[in-house]
Structure 1
């Protein structure tokens, strides 16, 4: 059977939607399916010099960039665009970013007013007001205040306070002194801080850099780990302002909340990490004022370095690009400019993108896929042997309330209040950040906006929002290899079908399962079913912790658990949905490949990727997703149908004994 489809692996197999050109016949399917299907790509593809990783997601993103640039340039050339329109704002923001000559003459002058605001801070009583101001212009601060649905009362908005303020990707970069790579990154970070401060005219840059890194290291010690942050109940701590003040008696929360714009509008806040705020309170009290001011100056410069003169841009890339991710050169200026426009005017740009590049028939076919995947979940819940009737009833009720969003929003974002000037890049970025901040804070007291999207249509990704109980699939991900309108359905179910199943699966993973169909944190599981579910997920944690993408760096099974549940659940459900789509008929054999084989090949080719070592470390430390090869192979090893499709037997490297396989759905 394997010989048949390997010999048929030619360009003609494109009709099946499989990139057979990348198959490496020297690798046994049963030993390493990911490398078998993608081996020639892995051997011959070089990661672009301006990238830290490369693969299907990045390639789609790269293909989208020229399309977006074309839209922006058309807006620039449009003689009929009027002041105040989205087209004017898109055009002028991009123009302001691309005017390198003007930026070179300015140096860091666009920040002199903000730097002076920090330098003239008279005492620590002014810190709450300063943090509020910096937060409004997009600068990282030790805590963030934001408005979101109340996780235990999802019909209203609440104010959240969460930890923040580090300049490196994770607390481990500060605290893992026994890890040579972490220690080296920290040393280079201190050098980078000093360089940026010196470029901004600071004559005591080296000493201040040491103090800043020491301050951030203390912040890191107080912060919760990313695994701890995954517990939605642990990070839900409802307090009135008096309780918050008692938690941190040295910090003026009344002033902080007032300056943030929520003061008299709230009865309570939800604190994410109470012990962190206590640690911050003590740290601020113990730190001299000059170090506090140096820290805020650094965070301002760090945020705005990409929008200043070339010396700042190059220094910023040298650390955040080369050192942290391993990229050799910075991205072309025009690509960064497109990203800047997306960050400020994402839906305005997305509206034009959808009109030009997202045909209505693609959305209609996607709706059919979603319908079948939901049907597969309904059937699966009823058939589960590890879930009792009471929990099944609750699970079905939650599933029935899922809201799919496909392609683009029904209601587009209004950018009327955002002012953009073609000669003021830093001002544009600050106004865009303030616009986004105010838009968020203004939600307080208003009905929940159920039409809002958390991604733009041109984003190559998808997500599940537990508080909305919604699954969202932007237009840009609905392209090959995820979704191929010209291919047989098998590859689409293995690709985008599994992505749909993955996102629905988040509603029932170790974290999402703690919310009900209304989006409220509520335990709807029986104690017995919860224990059986945990036994399965504990097995999944151990499976993935055995994977080692780099020597000494294992996948964090606890951090990646939710995504691994999503992958394993999503693929299993997508397979069932594929069978539903066949309406009892036998799948056709195309180019020597059975429907089941095409399905699993569709899954594995989606995760085609490779990554530089530095970026791989960042991913292992910070990303809740497992590396691509383990998302492919690790998931397939738990699928009984995969064993049947490719004849995987005991002794093969892809083989797991039945009792070790994790089957959730």
Structure 2
């Protein structure tokens, strides 16, 4: 994935964790100006922006500052954001454009069914007066179900209904996905979950900052419980118990680095074997309630974690388990309730955890929610107005050229045997390219959206998506499905689908600029395409074959050759400091780092092929090669709050922007030749790292 924008969130109970910025604001945030002036056309920014540069910096000393220093100075972080970047700025512009679409659809009288659903959801979300008037009333029905649990057996049975009715992930997560060993099949997957903080490490690290944050989280837990109706002293006691339970669950989880190995998260077993592993829950009844009656086999991604879930459900008191359920239901519901709940969640998850001082405007939150819950409905409107057939054709051509470059690189590798090369080429030729938007739009006709029921709309949208995923069981894998909505400013590779995906949202200026020459476009969008293609052959992707199956197609010598080369990248990036004294965890980021390096090289080769018959001349004082690298560097311009950098250091598989640019160009002789960099300068890595 090129950037770390969130995928659509399905699980209701873990919403506050999966999407750290809460989706709810005060009624006062909807100003008359905000309500009256949505963006009606997309703004233009060039893919090579001279004003973003800082020419006082020597490009051979710090290329990132050279290409992005002006941008960083001219683009301070908005008060409602944890970070600000070229990607984030474009995402915001896309959202403003979508806001205009949604406002029109919420007010129009003659609407299509798609316009009715997205317009009514948006309108209900924007009506903060009505939301505040309901107070915590929508939450009370959930809490009454928990309060009525008068035995451990009743609570264990209730977990199934909570997961089904509220799309919940309390204690653990369950859903469907492709079978890693047979990508043609959809399988049930049982995974780790149940935490209120973004990662297990928040519970196990012992440094002062981590311990302070854990205490602040416990205070937030108590605050939410009090707002949900508990006496203050009882809420404090329950909060301590909840953090104790979550800490035990966290300690049993694999680290993010461990989860990068797909073999470590594949443990296929029968439901009977799962019953032996975790006997507290009646698993046949659980899966029947989710929509999978008679299920025989599934993947339990982390068996030791499920054993710990069983221990907690068995050993903890009924009162403490009920408190855990009450908190997670209330915290997940908070973004969709009255102002005090929304403010409380913002204060912890956004202000404390990520350093965001001000809540985003209401229109932005509502637009994000429509994109999350009905992304392909909203995407139809976005594509119709922003993405031309010509743009799709040009992107497809660039993709095919970069795949040709990858073919040449594989064929020319001196460290890979003919046998492994044959399998690599087979996988390369099988990759499917998805550009812009799906061939077939998702059908939302079964989803009910009411203009006066915001909380109900949200719950029904989550239930719709959960049911859609469970309904995949017993059906062929839909190879045309997308994992991102068309307006998304991102791209991704799916190793089990064996496809690369480029939504229309990421194919807009300044990332792809039809007004600009090929050099910066290939440096920017071309490197993005190459990045996603390289993911098919990074430390995770290389373990899947042409059909998307988890299969070792490497000779032992070739696998060692790959690891030796990727370790060169890991050693280099481990030297970069993110914030304070925190270095990049290069074992976590190596997949993205290798994709950045390989993708840029592939884009450079493809650009040379595209312009082989042209006579290229300097522009704006820069040679064509320099323009390629400046375009490549400027996609990553960013400013990030220190708090967010600390979160990213634990959770983000992407390196910071400066490392993603300087780390790449310092390994490319083509860059060093273009800018005249000499050995010993910072942008010339002493030992050139090259994987592909």
TM-score interval (norm. to shorter): over 0.9
The CA deviation at 1:25 is 2.3
1:111 aligns with 2:112: no
1:440 aligns with 2:440: no
Partner of 1:6: none
**Residues 506-552 of structure 1, C-alpha deviations (whole Å, 9 max, x = no match):** 11001010000100011001110000000111121111111111122
Q: How many residues align?
A: 646
Please state whether the residue corresponding to 1:148 is helix, strand or coil. strand
Alignment of 1:175-214 (within 5 A): 175-177=204-206, 179-203=207-231, 204-214=234-244
Partner of 1:250: 280
Alignment of 1:221-240 (within 5 A): 221-240=251-270
1:407 aligns with 2:440: no
Structure 1 distance, partners of 2:163, 2:290, is: 8
Please state whether the residue corresponding to 1:654 is helix, strand or coil. coil
Partner of 1:324: 353
The CA deviation at 1:585 is 4.2
Partner of 1:9: none
Structure 1 distance, partners of 2:494, 2:154, is: 36
Question: Which of 102, 105, 126 is the aligned partner of 2:154?
Answer: 126
1:86 aligns with 2:119: no
Structure 2 distance, partners of 1:231, 1:271, is: 15
Q: Calculate the TM-score normalised by the size of structure 2.
A: 0.91
The CA deviation at 1:36 is 1.1
The alignment yields a C-alpha RMSD, in angstroms, of 1.5
Check conservation: 2:156, 2:280, Cα contact below 8 A: no
1:290 aligns with 2:319: yes
Task: Identify if the C-alpha distance between structure 1 residues 433 and 128 changes in structure 2 by more than 3 Å, giving closer, same or farther.
Answer: farther
The CA deviation at 1:131 is 2.7
Structure 1 distance, partners of 2:310, 2:417, is: 47
**Residues 263-291 of structure 1, C-alpha deviations (whole Å, 9 max, x = no match):** 31x32101101111111111221111111
Check conservation: 1:16, 1:488, Cα contact below 8 A: no
Task: Identify if the C-alpha distance between structure 1 residues 25 and 189 changes in structure 2 by more than 3 Å, giving closer, same or farther.
Answer: same
**Residues 449-469 of structure 1, C-alpha deviations (whole Å, 9 max, x = no match):** 111110000000000011110
Alignment of 1:426-465 (within 5 A): 426-465=455-494
Partner of 2:591: 562
Structure 2 distance, partners of 1:63, 1:432, is: 25
Partner of 2:450: 421
Structure 2 distance, partners of 1:183, 1:15, is: 43
**Residues 103-162 of structure 1, C-alpha deviations (whole Å, 9 max, x = no match):** 212211111111111111222323454333333323332211111111111111111111
Task: Identify if the C-alpha distance between structure 1 residues 192 and 17 changes in structure 2 by more than 3 Å, giving closer, same or farther.
Answer: closer
Structure 1 distance, partners of 2:74, 2:392, is: 35
Partner of 2:58: 28
Alignment of 1:126-205 (within 5 A): 126-136=154-164, 137-177=166-206, 179-203=207-231, 204-205=234-235
Partner of 2:610: 581
Alignment of 1:329-368 (within 5 A): 329-368=358-397
Please state whether the residue corresponding to 2:490 is helix, strand or coil. coil
Please state whether the residue corresponding to 2:189 is helix, strand or coil. strand
Partner of 2:415: 386
Structure 1 distance, partners of 2:501, 2:297, is: 30
Check conservation: 2:46, 2:513, Cα contact below 8 A: no
Structure 1 distance, partners of 2:153, 2:397, is: 58
Q: Calculate the TM-score normalised by the size of structure 1.
A: 0.95
Please state whether the residue corresponding to 1:524 is helix, strand or coil. coil
Unmatched runs of 5 consecutive residues or more in structure 1: 1-13
The CA deviation at 1:92 is 1.4
Check conservation: 1:50, 1:329, Cα contact below 8 A: yes
